[in-house]
Structure 1
Amino acid sequence: MAVISPVALAVVGGLSGCETPQPANIPFAPKYEGVSTALLDGNLVKFDVTMRGARDPRDVEDYAECAAAQYALIRGYGFARHLRTNVDEEAGLWRGDAVYTISPALPRGVRTIDAEVVTASCVENGIPMV
């Protein structure tokens, strides 16, 4: 009976997936097509974002987070807390629907953002905001 090493299993396991590998030399060239905001209630805000060229849902989530951070600053708040984001893609058009709360002090919860830090990162990464 042959013994298969853990390294061999990892290599075989990595090759047996159904995903098609993405070429590493294709540059990331997103097209950010807009953000709309809707104040739902008090400090609860919904952001609808649209973009093309996303690599995966995380790019859409980042776009919505940038919008939320800038919106918080515009309203005079320094923080936001992510509640949920739904992402959908059809024919290369990615849509995100995200809900955040905004607040002047660091809110409780795990998915909080410091609006100033996030907006600086968005500027650095070329992600537009509200």
Structure 2
Amino acid sequence: MRGALISGMLAVFLPTLAACAATDGKPRPDATREPVYLGAEPVGLGGDLYGFAVRMRAPRDAADIDAYVTCIVAGYALQKDAGFARKLRTNVKEEGGVWIADAVYSISPALPSGLRTIDAEVAVSDCAENGIPTA
């Protein structure tokens, strides 16, 4: 009887322990949860620099907010008749369940130098395929 009790307890707790081990004790992202896109506020900072305050609720992970920022920036670049953007920085914080990305990008008609560049037309197409708004 004791063996059956221990076996039963192991059957209940081992999957939980395995899940923690697989994620180094961090909670797993909820793959079934859908992000809620709350919009963005672009602000011209002078010259080719633009700031963006992008808000969303329920991102599955940090990649969701980053993808949303990319889509917003790409859509804005096309509105400005510029085909490219370059990421300068992004700061992310969470307030009351709403994630806010404060991002700064340069937007230009020609491909800027740097590693973190966005081809706006390609990005907007990717955003449409993934159901992420660009405005």
| TM-score bucket (shorter structure) | 0.7 to 0.9
Give the count of matched residue pairs.
116
Counterpart CA distance in 1 for 2:29 and 2:119 is: 33
**1:80-129 deviation per Cα after TM superposition (whole angstroms, max 9, x unaligned):** 00111111113321111111101111100000010000000111111111
Percent identity between the two aligned chains = 48
Which moved further from structure 2: 113-122 or 90-99? 90-99
Matched with 1:96 is 101
**TM-score w.r.t. length of structure 2:** 0.78
Give every structure 1 segment of 4 or more consecutive aligned residues whose post-TM-superposition deviation is greater than 6 Å: none
Does residue 1:45 correspond to 2:50, yes or no? Answer: yes
TM-superposed CA distance for 1:20, in Å, is 3.1
Higher-Rg structure is 2
Bigger share in helix: 2
Gaps of 5+ in 1: 1-11
1:85 alignment partner, SS class: strand
- The root-mean-square deviation of aligned C-alpha atoms, in Å, is 1.9
TM-superposed CA distance for 1:28, in Å, is 3.4
Matched with 2:116 is 111
1:51-66 maps to which residues of 2 (within 5 A)? 51-66=56-71
AA in 2 matched with 1:18: G
